[in-house]
Structure 1
Amino acid sequence: MQNRRDFLKKAGIASAAATGASALAMPHVRAQSQIKWRLQTYAGPALAEHVVKPAIDAFNKVANGEMVIELYTADQLVPTGELFRAMQAGTIDAVQSDEDSMAAPVDVSVFGGYFPFATRYSLDVPVLFNQWGLKEIWEEAYSEVENVTWLSAGSWDPCHFNTVEPINSLADLKGKRVFTFPTAGKFLAQFGVVPVTIPYEDVEVAVQTGELDGIAWSGITEDYTVGWADVTNYFLTNNITGAWIGSFFANTERWNEVPDHLKALFQLCMDSSHYYRQWWYWGGEAKLRVEGTKLQLTTIPDAEWAQVEEAAAKFWDEIAAQSERSARVVKILKDYNAAMGKAGRPYRYT
């Protein structure tokens, strides 16, 4: 019995020692804390429901608690014009916007948003970025900017006028106070348009009070979605470009903290967002022109509208002269549109 007790005692000591040694040998594993981002979009609440929220909701669900993105709409955290600087400083972690309206300090920012007559259809944007070299140019431009990473570009709707009074000729544009993007406003000013910059959420009231005569910010889908069709009466079928170019951006330090598998997931969700907008806008533009009851359609004759297209060609050359990189972008746009024209229907109507 005594020998048995001694054996058990020694075995217990040995076991405890082995356990202790094993515990010391095991590396310390720290639980991965949840990554939290704040992303602000250029869009107001009603529009954000379509242009970004489905993708962010999907990301949060599939990320399974590893990362959560909080979505904020236009001007909710910072004014749209300060989005870039706020992201660069880390006040917010990511942004969905065009470069033009948030004053991105890069030479290609002029092409974000609505660059006059750069595109005819929404599919032009992903083709230009993924097959004609704009993606590489954008990556190059933003590599020169401290603490901001450009992630992905996609297309939105065309740029039309919706106004209180009808527009049937270029003369009708003169003196019209219009809410629009900086580059589009600069271009349209030569036709007598008075560009006005105010917060996105103030536009509807500004039309009602007479501060604005109209809007050149979107297509008809957006007019109905955000309420602008309720305060204007006419929709001009001529557009100054076929698709808005918008992008996703992130604070570089925060982006670098994200594991590769979550970066891949975010890329998939951005692609999903681009695809959603393709069919949502495209279908809405046709359906609401035919079935919509709030806006009466007007058209400037093709022969007269050709003056605007000719002015755009001169505008392109002015922008190309601003930098070597801008010149490369303009050359791509010219080459692309020439190729589409030669391809003919359905790529271009010649």
Structure 2
Amino acid sequence: MNRRNFIRQAGTAGILAGSAATLATPAIAQENPKITWRMTSSFTKGLDILFGAAEIVAEHVREASNGNFVIQHFAGGEIVPALQAADAVSSGTVEMAHTCAYYYVGKDPTFALGTAVPFGLNARQTNAWFNQAGGNELLNEFLSGYNIHSILLGNTGAQMGGWFRKEINTIEDLKGLKMRIAGLTGQVMSKVGVTPQQIAGGDVYAALEKGTIDATEFVGPYDDQKLGFHKVAKYYYYPAWWEGGPAVHAFVNLEKWNSLPDNYKRILQDACAAGSASMLERYDARNPLALKELVAAGAILRPFSQEILDASYKAAQETYAEISASNPAFKKIYDSQQAFKKDAYLWAQIAEYSYDTFMMIQQRNGTL
């Protein structure tokens, strides 16, 4: 090959290589576009486990996308009020929210089934139903009517039954009681005489201190200690039969979700899975010490009586039957959870409950 032909061929190869690079760049850019979203929260920054789960999501998304997909995280009230997060997502005011579906039962009681209902699933069952038994698909079928796509983003585990200014022993003690309580539980509580109040977490302490409410539930020892409820109501009841394993979700504007590149959808889903696992782990790690400290500070632990549990269970079943009779969306999701729960508790009795019961006896006997 002479020098002139070599130069000509080398130049042609360089042009072709340059063309390939020019063609490849837009394809890569389309797969990894620069996107910035805003995520509002229904929680304050002081509730570091609840608020922090969504921070984990934002960090994972940014790192996994090499900084191309950025989610800015805002506390409740910074963009919209805490209990208007779903509305902000639905309307497109923000692209995302970290919230609990049951805050929005005023729109439709079916929202409650996205978080927890009285005498519903425990934490492991909730996660399994959503991720392995069609729960995600059922909830998103319902939420599509509100222009929302949901992704599981947290579970607190079984919660405490809350703080009361006076001792509660019987159903009669509940009558006329003003209690801050969220979701469908308010309807059930109404049947046993309680007057339910829905108040954002940041406003609960002041309402309890002023006597605007007589009792409140929130989450469990770790968060309750931070909020100082033991200073204004000393009786601490358990368990929260209305929240055996409440789910928290990322709500995403459906149009924005559909417009995401597939790789960004996968990144966001994986990030939510990491944040979800972290929430339950952190509560399991921190609640035991917080409970000890609350008792040392004067909190008086009390179990709900069998009378209260039985009456509340009956009221819950009546409520579900009434709603199911007129709300097909609620019935469809509730029936799915019920069928799953029956088998899940059958299995739990065989292994989990037997093992846990034996180990709890050892703990009580001081032999652990």
TM-score by length of 2: 0.79
Aligned to 1:211: 212
Which structure 2 residues correspond to residues 9-158 of structure 1 after superposition, within 5 A?
Answer: 26=22, 34-47=34-47, 48-102=50-104, 105=107, 108-119=110-121, 121-146=122-147, 148-152=148-152, 154-158=154-158
* Contact 1:158-1:239 at 8 Å conserved across structures: yes
**Matches of 1:74 and 1:145, distance apart in 2:** 21
Aligned to 1:337: 341
The sequence identity of aligned pairs, in percent, is 20
Partner SS state of residue 78, structure 1: coil
**Matches of 1:180 and 1:107, distance apart in 2:** 15
Deviations 1:136-174 (A, max 9, x none): 21132233443x222336422434221232333333222
**Matches of 1:142 and 1:210, distance apart in 2:** 37
Partner SS state of residue 101, structure 1: helix
Partner SS state of residue 248, structure 1: strand
Shift of the alpha carbon at 1:186?
A: 1.6
Aligned to 2:168: 167
Paired residue type of 2:322: E
Distance 1:23 1:285, change over 3 A: closer
Aligned to 1:222: 223
- Runs of 4+ in structure 1 deviating by more than 6 angstroms, as ranges, are 15-25
Q: CA RMSD in A?
A: 3.3
The one of 310, 320, 343 equivalent to 1:306 is 310
Paired residue type of 1:239: A
Partner SS state of residue 44, structure 1: coil
Paired residue type of 1:41: S
**Matches of 2:229 and 2:270, distance apart in 1:** 32
Aligned to 1:194: 195
Deviations 1:216-257 (A, max 9, x none): 232233212344344432210132231212221111232234
Deviations 1:285-326 (A, max 9, x none): 444334533422012322442221222222221222232332
Shift of the alpha carbon at 1:17?
A: 12
Partner SS state of residue 218, structure 1: coil
Aligned to 1:270: 272
Distance 1:299 1:256, change over 3 A: same
Paired residue type of 1:236: Y
**Residues 1:251 and 2:253 aligned together:** yes
Distance 1:21 1:98, change over 3 A: closer
Q: Which runs of 5+ in 2 are unaligned?
A: 358-368
Partner SS state of residue 249, structure 1: strand
**Matches of 1:226 and 1:35, distance apart in 2:** 36
Distance 1:285 1:172, change over 3 A: farther
**Matches of 2:263 and 2:235, distance apart in 1:** 48
Partner SS state of residue 79, structure 2: coil
Paired residue type of 2:155: S
Paired residue type of 1:38: R
Structure with greater helix percent: 2
Shift of the alpha carbon at 1:335?
A: 2.3
Larger radius of gyration: 1
**Matches of 1:104 and 1:249, distance apart in 2:** 17
Distance 1:172 1:307, change over 3 A: same
Distance 1:224 1:145, change over 3 A: same
Paired residue type of 2:333: V
Q: How many residues align?
A: 340
Partner SS state of residue 103, structure 2: coil
Deviations 1:316-345 (A, max 9, x none): 212222323322322223323322343315
